[in-house]
Amino acid sequence: MSDSSSTETLVALLRAEVAALAPGDRLPSSRDVIARHGVGPVTVSRAIAQLAAEGAVVTRPGSGTYVAPRRPARGGDAPDTSWQALALSAASRDQGRDAPWPEEAERPAPPPAGALALCGGYLHEDLQPTRALGAALARAARRPDAWHRAPVAGLAPLRAIFARQVGAAVGPEDVLITGGGQGALSMLFRAVAAPGAPVLVESPTYPGALAAARAAGLRPVPVPIDADGIRPDLLAEAFAMTGARLLYCQPTVHNPTGTALAPERRRQIVDVARAAGAFLVEDDFARHLGHGRPLPPPLAAEDRDGTVIHLTSLTKPASPSLRIGALVARGPVMRRLQAMRRVDDFFIARPLQEAAVELLSTPAWERHLRALAAALRERCTALSDALARELPDLAPARPPAGGLHLWLRLPPALTDTAVAEAARAHGVCVDAGAGYFPAEAPAAHLRLGFAATADPGDLAEAARRLALATRSLTTAP
């Protein structure tokens, strides 16, 4: 074995040696392993660490590495967990849940080998600022207080950065740092509404919001949208009919449709929510996912009386593992959110917050956002053009204002699940649209992502495969 042999190969070899030994037997020394297998000391150290993590060996400093006691095999019948059905049903009744755990909370199966991804909601790793993230994390780790306890509300410099992004009327004291957008949604729904209460949502909407609302015991109530976003007239009617005190919406770039709320409606929906004595949760997940055209300022920028609760996150424009987001709120609701933070997890890990400060404070971040906008615009155009060639009846009428997706309405003869399954069989993965609706969908839809492929050129091939899959359904006997 050469010096460049992988740690995984050495782990497999050592695992076989461990299996042939008895518990308590001593493994060869690192020096012997290096000489026998021709690897470097770092590879040996990593392999031993992995085996120790698996529980196969135990290390004793100054003595050596020994075979760990064998774990008893699990024999007999499978564990009986049937009692949990009764316990969970009781918990559902207590929390106002009258339906099974939402299917949209489950993760889809990984794409098969060779499949092209038009599914999912994150950037391909080639679009992520990997080098800038690594440098930011390294600088953060060198800070003398990097591992100190962080304030409940978050680091002051990070809160100031998010406050500036919203607008001059927002100060750092109005910002609460969160563990990404999804955790913030869960906290919000539990903090603002009681179990069993209605929450108004756009229809369609982000499935993660539906899952978080239902997990909090809330009842999502759909409010239809059109090409200009949520309809203020129907929103007012929904508030009057349900008595809801909470609206969740995505006014800047809507997921899944990509729609931007029309300028004349932006003030209207805030006024409607205020008149109903309700909170408006503004999910601004795509603030940094524009396609080069200026995006409108957040609704929270002009809100003076605390109607709008603003939510944003760094996971979409940076990396899924940069679990840093922010809530902007004013008044007693902020104190309630901070109290919930103390109950949930005390604070967000300081090294991650420090890394976010480092990332957002460097010119590399602005360069990344400019490059990302150009890349998303190029990919959006490429997929739209390919759909116009391959599936002209399904191509979207107008490009989205930003974001990572296209939203397609299928003809009545097709169902979203059938198309998604056929597409998968043809080597392209898409998101079926049914899970984006809080109630019955008025028509079948697909959500197609253009940011998850390795090469923009793959988008034309993905559209071709999707067309083949669609034709296979329409021409089947």
**CATH number of the domain encompassing residue 47:** 1.10.10.10
pLDDT score, position 270: 94
Residue 86 lies in a domain: no
> What is the enclosing helix (H) or strand (E) of 200?
strand 198-203
Q: Which of left, alpha, beta for 312 (phi over 0: left; psi -120 to 50: alpha)?
A: beta
CA angle (249, 208, 369) in 5-degree steps: 70
Cβ atoms < 10 Å from Cβ of 26 = 13
Q: Which of left, alpha, beta for 403 (phi over 0: left; psi -120 to 50: alpha)?
A: left
Residue that finishes a domain, picked among 310, 335, 362: 362
SS3 103: helix
Residue 72 lies in a domain: no
Q: How does pLDDT run along the chain (477 residues), one tens digit per residue?
A: 444 456 888 998 999 999 999 999 999 998 899 888 888 888 888 889 888 888 888 888 878 899 988 776 555 556 666 666 656 655 555 444 444 444 444 455 666 778 899 998 899 999 999 999 999 999 999 988 989 999 999 999 999 999 999 987 888 999 999 998 999 999 999 999 999 999 999 999 999 999 999 999 999 999 999 999 999 999 999 999 999 999 999 999 999 999 999 999 999 999 999 999 999 999 999 999 999 888 999 999 988 888 999 999 999 999 999 999 999 999 899 999 999 988 888 999 999 999 999 999 999 999 999 999 999 999 999 999 999 999 998 877 788 989 999 999 999 889 999 999 999 999 999 999 999 999 888 899 999 999 999 899 999 999 999 999 999 988 755
Residue 96 lies in a domain: no
pLDDT score, position 90: 56
Residue that finishes a domain, picked among 309, 329, 362: 362
- Amino acid at site 217: G
Q: Do 321 and 385 belong together in one domain?
A: no
Q: Do 291 and 144 belong together in one domain?
A: yes
pTM summary value: 0.81
Judge residue 349's burial from the number of C-beta atoms within 10 Å of its C-beta, 0-12 exposed, 13-18 middle, 19 or more buried.
middle
Sole residue written with tokens 């739209």 = 384
Q: Do 186 and 276 belong together in one domain?
A: yes
The CATH number given to whatever domain includes residue 264 is 3.40.640.10
Q: Do 394 and 432 belong together in one domain?
A: yes
Residue 1 lies in a domain: no
Q: Do 341 and 405 belong together in one domain?
A: no
Residues 212, 446: contact at Cβ < 8 Å?
no
Q: Do 358 and 372 belong together in one domain?
A: no
pLDDT score, position 40: 87
Q: Do 262 and 379 belong together in one domain?
A: no
Q: Do 31 and 178 belong together in one domain?
A: no
CA nearest neighbour of 286 among 369, 229, 227:
369
Residue 77 lies in a domain: no
Query: Token pair for residue 147?
Result: 């591992």
Q: Do 357 and 370 belong together in one domain?
A: no
**Pairing outcome for strands 279-283 and 308-313:** parallel
Report the alpha-carbon distance of residue 292 to residue 294 in Å, rounded. 6
Residue 98 lies in a domain: no
Q: Do 357 and 407 belong together in one domain?
A: no
pLDDT score, position 73: 57
Residue that finishes a domain, picked among 340, 362, 384: 362
CA nearest neighbour of 435 among 97, 108, 92, 93:
108
pLDDT score, position 396: 78
pLDDT score, position 8: 86
Residue 93 lies in a domain: no
As for how many domains the chain has, the answer is 3
Report the alpha-carbon distance of residue 327 to residue 313 in Å, rounded. 9
Q: Where are the beta strands (DSSP E) in 412-464?
A: 428-429, 431-432, 445-449
- Amino acid at site 99: A
> What is the enclosing helix (H) or strand (E) of 207?
helix 207-215
Q: Do 250 and 169 belong together in one domain?
A: yes
Residue 74 lies in a domain: no
pLDDT score, position 91: 54
Q: Do 428 and 374 belong together in one domain?
A: yes
- Amino acid at site 294: P
Range of the domain at 136: 130-362
Sole residue written with tokens 């079948």 = 444
pLDDT score, position 288: 94
- Amino acid at site 417: T
- Amino acid at site 393: D
The CATH number given to whatever domain includes residue 107 is 3.90.1150.10
344: Cβ–Cβ under 8 A, 6 or more apart, which residues? Answer: 187
pLDDT score, position 345: 87
Q: Where are the beta strands (DSSP E) in 4-153?
A: 57-60, 64-67, 116-117
